[in-house]
Amino acid sequence: MGDSHINEVLGAKVKRLRQEAGFTQATLSERSGLFRTHLSRIECGTANPTLAAIVSIANALGVNPVVLLRDGALGQHGER
């Protein structure tokens, strides 16, 4: 699985969780400390977020970072 696919899956998951939480990108930006434009690129799958960014997003969404990384973002064996 290529990096671009991983980024697309991760981005889709961030967007879905953000929308489920009722947050705008601006709100998630404020809560995570990341620029809104960077969040937009993450959601579109065009950015390659650092682990620190993933943890910040997860914390802002109130989920464990593993939630963002499992089930497709890392592949079948991502939790090993």
Task: Report if residue 76 sits inside a domain.
Answer: no
Mapping DSSP to helix (H, G, I), strand (E, B) and coil, where does residue 56 land? helix
Task: Report if residue 25 sits inside a domain.
Answer: yes
Number of domains in the chain: 1
Candidates 25, 78, 5; CA nearest to 68 is 78
CATH number of the domain at 60, please.
Answer: 1.10.260.40
Please report the sign of the dihedral spanned by the C-alpha atoms of residue 49, residue 54, residue 56, residue 57: positive
Candidates 7, 11, 6; CA nearest to 57 is 11
pLDDT in tens, 54-75: 999 999 999 999 999 987 554 4
Token pair for 78:
């991502």
Please report which confidence band the pLDDT of residue 2 belongs to, taking 50, 70 and 90 as the band edges.
confident
Single-letter amino acid code for the residue at 68: L
| Residue with more model confidence, 54 or 77 | 54
pLDDT score, position 76: 47
pLDDT score, position 38: 98
pLDDT in tens, 10-43: 999 999 999 999 999 999 999 999 999 999 999 9
